[in-house]
Amino acid sequence: MFDTKIAILVRNDLPVWQRLNVTAFLATGIVAAAPQALGTPYVDAAGKSYTALCGQPILIFEADLQGLQAAHRIGLERELIVAPYVQAMFSTGHDDANRQVFLAEDPASMNLVGLALRGGKKAVDKATKGLSLHP
């Protein structure tokens, strides 16, 4: 039904609250990069309008650091939309500080705690190959 696929990968050693937090942030990154992924606004039976949500499923995977780094590498190689979240971003209090700690990361060995990918189904499948869906 969809030409594209969205996958969010979270590190398997994070507390649940951090996994949920990272997932929420990464989903916004996908929508920012691909606004066409949004559906249309919802309207309830009383006519009240609500905001649009993503118009396609988002698969959530868990991975260790090496799995995230491999998916990151493949995502870049296959020119997917890539939204990364690194460990150091947990220690900041605002977006500008997040950019500063992200800038300090070595792209070849980022300390990733989460990663969102969007692109062609086969390319996203390749990047997530061997990873388990989040329980």
Give me the tens of pLDDT residue by residue for the chain, a chain 135 residues long.
Answer: 889 999 999 999 999 999 999 999 999 999 999 999 999 999 999 999 999 999 999 999 999 999 999 999 999 999 999 999 999 999 998 999 999 999 999 999 999 999 999 999 999 999 999 999 998
Q: Please give the Cα distance from 124 to 75 (Å, whole number).
A: 7
| CB of 37 closer than 8 Å to CB of 54 | yes
Provide φ and ψ at 101, rounded to 5°. -70, -30
- What's the pLDDT score for residue 14? 97
> pTM score, two decimals?
0.93
How far is the CA of 30 from the CAs of 13, 26, 68, in angstroms? Answer: 23, 7, 17
The CATH T-level fold of domain 4-133 is Bit1 (3.40.1490)
